[in-house]
């Protein structure tokens, strides 16, 4: 019923005629004019506001509340379409349009006692084709005292009357690449090959040569490759690795001569090195059914693979580019009725990281098969140079086009959880590395100086109900058990200044500080200092991270535990590297950043790296120097806990060992920084953790040294205690040395 027919209807019934001038969504129509003086008086029952009914309906649409929308339909409309079909009709239209918002303006309202028409202008704000604007008229009937919508398909979009529907033709740009700081690719669309073996097809006469060739190609040992298929069924496919075409093509003819070797080509997004810094770079996944509607509304076709973690997730908007699209109306038979709108595709941008691919691979190798993490930061900027998390994973396995996709299930069920980024998400007790924070709190309290003396013996007996034992006692007991004569040689540390207490990592000294400050009503002195060092909160790095935990102690037991970095202290290796960098650079806490810049196809770089200072350590210059000197003593003094591992390192370093108790085998920590001050070679801060392995000086300190050597000399210059050659394990366990 149009507006002119309503006027006739009003005249015939001698009822009030009202016209409301429109306005923005939410405005109220103008009040009806009174009847002229002397006119016959008519009894009128005022209906509810029809404009409000329309705006309520459109507001429900903005909220995707299709059930509430359907409830506003009149009985006749509900008889013609079910709620399920109604919902699907709207959902399909808004998904295809990539609708992200609605705006409307009511132009007029015409009302009778049981009928109303609301004329309005509506704007459909879409991601892909801009704003579509239409003039519409909504008819209402009065049912049980409420306006109900006489709905028809044209109220979605006028062009959809008669069963027409919308179709979007997408033009999807190639996904942008991810590079290291030097432009070496980490992830890019390319031609690649998946390599694998079918054991039953291997020629015994070729087997030795095949294993040697594959070992050279993949970096796996002959034994590791053989173990993969040793007990496999003859017809099983055993995935090995993936390589870009430019590696395999030159040797393809020689490889295909080996029977049982499968070389399967595919084209897709390829992750170089089977996942260099895989937890940092991330991986792609298909859009799930649960995510489908949301991504369609964002302008995706639904067929894309999207960033699920790491830089792939952070940079999704850049790496995807802008889809090109043309919006059509088609009739029920699929014939194009009209083209509504369109736009051209915008190429994706490339993301450059702050990490160095070659150095990252060396840091990964330094960690080896241990479970743990290494973080390397530029000391004076917050730039991330390497993030190693072991075990790592192969992001190529998420691609169904890759024949090695069959190995995905094994990777996902790995109990070591290789997808977990231990460098940024792993939350660990910090152990004795935390003592630099406790020392800072003690000095800032005013009750301690660097020269305050404490007698560090085997035991700590200041608690009323228990005796605690220093690491020297535990080492002494271990030596007695292992020695032939039943004697141990590790003695208590004796009288120590506070700086020497850190150097020797004397547990009783730091238990004493925690208890003393707690009893002096400085109950939060240590936890506040930890917060000031950036613990207990996310750092702001671009990829996934955890906040850790710092909690003020509620009793003396908690206070002494916290003083040596045990329960309830939890930190991430990234947080530790960050505050170590601050200790080395003069006190500035920088935001760790892994994005160097984002480079569009045309134009200036986006998201360009710049050092971002987020605060300063809450300590005086005197306290900072005292802590720095003590950390140098850890390495340089013959009684220091890392002296045996790091004293011969030619690059000057300062750091702290840590052995964090876990209830099982302890975590080994070493964290520190360099102060070489070499022109053109920025100093670095490093945090190393090896899970459930033993003492910090045994494992973490040698790995710290290896990283320093690789950074400054571009090669390892010393063997691990457990190596017979670089990368060659000699014995399963290194020789123990004293450490907390």
Average pLDDT, the chain: 92
pLDDT digits (tens, 9 = 90+) for 448-479: 999 999 999 999 999 999 999 999 999 999 88
Which position has the higher pLDDT, 473 or 41? 473
Q: How far apart are CA 377 and CA 612, in angstroms?
A: 13
The per-residue pLDDT for 480 is: 87
Range from 46-55, 192-201, 276-285, 417-426 carrying the lowest mean pLDDT: 46-55
Number of H helices, E strands in the chain: 25, 29
Spell out the residues 6+ positions from residue 412 whose beta carbon is closer than 8 angstroms to its own.
419
- Token pair for 407: 């190995």
Q: How far apart are CA 136 and CA 141, in angstroms?
A: 17
pLDDT digits (tens, 9 = 90+) for 307-317: 999 999 999 99
Asked whether the predicted pLDDT for residue 432 surpasses 50, the reply is: yes
Q: How far apart are CA 28 and CA 136, in angstroms?
A: 18
- For each of the domains in the chain, give its residue range(s) and CATH number, in order of start: 3-158 (3.10.450.100), 164-353 (3.90.1310.10), 431-729 (3.40.710.10)
CB 110 within 8 A of CB 98: no
Asked whether the predicted pLDDT for residue 55 surpasses 50, the reply is: yes
CA-closest candidate to residue 273, choices 361, 211, 339, 354: 361
CA 481 to chain centre: 46
CA-closest candidate to residue 517, choices 562, 549, 548: 562
CB 86 within 8 A of CB 64: no
Q: Return the number of other C-beta atoms located less than 10 Å from residue 694's C-beta.
A: 18
Q: Tell me what percent of the chain is helix, strand and coil, each rounded to the nearest 5.
A: 35, 25, 40
The per-residue pLDDT for 18 is: 37
The per-residue pLDDT for 486 is: 76
Q: How far apart are CA 337 and CA 165, in angstroms?
A: 10
Asked whether the predicted pLDDT for residue 17 surpasses 50, the reply is: no
pLDDT digits (tens, 9 = 90+) for 76-125: 999 999 999 999 999 999 999 999 999 999 999 999 999 999 999 999 99
DSSP H or E segment with residue 205: none
Q: How far apart are CA 100 and CA 342, in angstroms?
A: 16
DSSP H or E segment with residue 212: helix 207-218
CA-closest candidate to residue 328, choices 314, 342, 339, 343: 339
pLDDT digits (tens, 9 = 90+) for 473-505: 999 998 888 887 778 889 999 999 999 999 999
Average pLDDT over residues 259-279: 96
pLDDT digits (tens, 9 = 90+) for 715-732: 999 999 999 888 888 755
Range from 11-15, 300-304, 361-365, 541-545 carrying the lowest mean pLDDT: 11-15
Look-up of token digits 């029920």? 332
- Determine what percent of the chain is predicted with pLDDT higher than 70: 92
CB 565 within 8 A of CB 434: yes
CA atoms lying within 13 Å on the CB side of residue 444: 21
The conformation of residue 666, written as its DSSP 8-state character, comes to: P
The per-residue pLDDT for 229 is: 95
pLDDT digits (tens, 9 = 90+) for 162-197: 999 999 999 999 999 999 999 999 999 999 999 999
CA-closest candidate to residue 699, choices 480, 489, 431: 431
Q: How far apart are CA 434 and CA 667, in angstroms?
A: 13
The conformation of residue 199, written as its DSSP 8-state character, comes to: G
Dump the DSSP string for 375-414.
EEEETTT-BEEEEEEES---GGGG-TTSGGGGGHHHHHT-
pLDDT digits (tens, 9 = 90+) for 333-392: 999 999 999 999 999 999 999 999 999 999 999 999 999 999 999 999 999 999 999 999
DSSP H or E segment with residue 288: none
The per-residue pLDDT for 734 is: 52
Q: Is 138 helix (H, G, I), strand (E, B) or coil?
A: strand
Asked whether the predicted pLDDT for residue 46 surpasses 60, the reply is: no
- For the entire predicted model, the pTM comes to 0.88
Q: How far apart are CA 387 and CA 594, in angstroms?
A: 9
The per-residue pLDDT for 473 is: 94
The per-residue pLDDT for 554 is: 96
């Amino acid at each position: 019923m149009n507006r002119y027919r309503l006027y006739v209807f009003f005249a015939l019934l001698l009822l009030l005629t009202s016209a409301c001038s429109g306005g923005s969504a939410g405005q109220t129509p103008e009040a009806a004019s009174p009847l002229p003086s002397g006119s016959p008086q008519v009894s009128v029952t005022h209906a509810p506001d029809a404009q409000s009914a329309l705006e309520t309906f459109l507001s429900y649409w903005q909220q995707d509340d299709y059930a509430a929308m359907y409830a506003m339909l009149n009985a006749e409309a509900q008889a013609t379409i079910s709620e399920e079909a109604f919902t699907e009709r709207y959902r399909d239209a808004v998904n295809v349009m990539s609708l992200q918002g609605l705006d409307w303006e009511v132009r007029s309202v015409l009302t009778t006692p049981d009928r109303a028409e609301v004329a309005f202008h509506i704007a459909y704000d879409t991601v892909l084709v801009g704003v579509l604007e239409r003039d519409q008229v909504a008819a209402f009937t009065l049912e049980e005292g409420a306006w109900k919508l006489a709905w028809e398909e044209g109220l979605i979009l006028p062009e959809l009357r008669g069963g027409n529907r919308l179709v979007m033709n997408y033009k999807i740009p190639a996904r942008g690449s991810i590079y290291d700081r030097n432009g070496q690719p980490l992830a890019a669309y390319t031609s690649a090959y998946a390599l694998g073996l079918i054991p039953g097809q291997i020629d015994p006469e070729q087997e030795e040569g095949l294993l040697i060739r594959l070992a050279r190609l993949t970096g796996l040992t002959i034994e590791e490759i053989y173990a993969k298929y040793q007990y496999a069924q003859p017809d099983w496919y055993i995935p090995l690795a993936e390589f870009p075409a430019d590696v395999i093509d030159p040797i393809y003819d020689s490889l295909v001569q080996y029977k049982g070797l499968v070389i399967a080509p595919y084209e897709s997004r390829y992750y170089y090195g089977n996942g260099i810094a895989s937890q940092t770079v991330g991986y792609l996944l298909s859009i799930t059914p649960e995510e489908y509607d949301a991504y369609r509304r964002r302008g995706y076709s639904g067929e894309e693979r999207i960033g699920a973690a790491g830089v792939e997730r952070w940079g999704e908007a850049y790496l995807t580019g802008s889809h090109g699209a043309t919006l059509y109306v088609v009739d029920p038979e699929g014939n194009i009725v009209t083209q509504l709108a369109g736009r051209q595709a915008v190429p994706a941008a490339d993301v450059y990281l702050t990490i160095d691919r070659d150095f990252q691979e060396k840091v990964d190798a330094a960690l080896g098969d241990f479970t743990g993490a290494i973080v390397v930061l530029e000391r004076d900027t917050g730039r991330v140079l390497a993030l190693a998390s072991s075990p790592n994973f192969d992001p190529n396995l998420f691609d169904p086009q890759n024949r090695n996709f069959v190995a995905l299930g094994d990777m996902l069920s790995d109990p070591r959880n290789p997808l977990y980024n231990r460098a940024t998400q792993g939350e660990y007790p910090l152990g004795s590395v935390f003592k630099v924070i406790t020392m800072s709190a003690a000095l800032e309290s005013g009750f301690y100086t660097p020269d305050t003396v404490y007698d560090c013996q085997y035991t700590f007996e200041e608690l009323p109900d228990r005796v605690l034992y220093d690491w020297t006692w535990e080492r002494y007991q271990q030596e007695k058990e292992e020695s032939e004569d039943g004697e141990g040689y590790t003695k208590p540390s004796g009288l120590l200044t506070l700086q020497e207490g850190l150097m020797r990592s004397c547990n009783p000294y730091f238990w004493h500080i925690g208890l003393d400050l707690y009893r002096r009503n400085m109950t939060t002195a240590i936890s506040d200092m930890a917060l000031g060092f950036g613990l207990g909160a996310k750092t702001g790095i671009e990829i996934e991270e955890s906040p850790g935990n710092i909690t003020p102690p509620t009793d003396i037991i908690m206070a002494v535990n916290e003083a040596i970095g045990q329960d309830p202290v939890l930190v991430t290796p990234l947080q530790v590297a960050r505050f170590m960098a601050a200790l080395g650079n003069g006190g500035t806490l920088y935001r760790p950043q892994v994005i160097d810049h984002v480079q569009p196809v045309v134009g200036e770089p986006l998201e360009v790296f710049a050092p971002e200072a987020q605060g300063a350590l809450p300590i005086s210059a005197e306290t900072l120097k005292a802590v720095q000197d003590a950390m140098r003593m850890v390495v340089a003094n013959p009684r220091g806990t890392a002296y045996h591992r790091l004293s011969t390192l030619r690059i000057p370093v300062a750091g702290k060992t840590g052995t964090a108790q876990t209830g099982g085998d302890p975590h080994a920590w070493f964290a520190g920084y360099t102060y070489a001050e070499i022109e053109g070679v920025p100093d670095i801060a490093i945090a190393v953790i090896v899970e459930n392995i033993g003492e910090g000086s045994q494992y973490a300190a040698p790995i710290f040294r290896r990283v320093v050597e690789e950074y400054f000399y571009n090669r390892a210059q010393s063997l691990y205690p457990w190596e017979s050659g670089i990368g060659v394990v000699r014995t399963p366990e290194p020789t123990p040395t004293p450490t907390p």
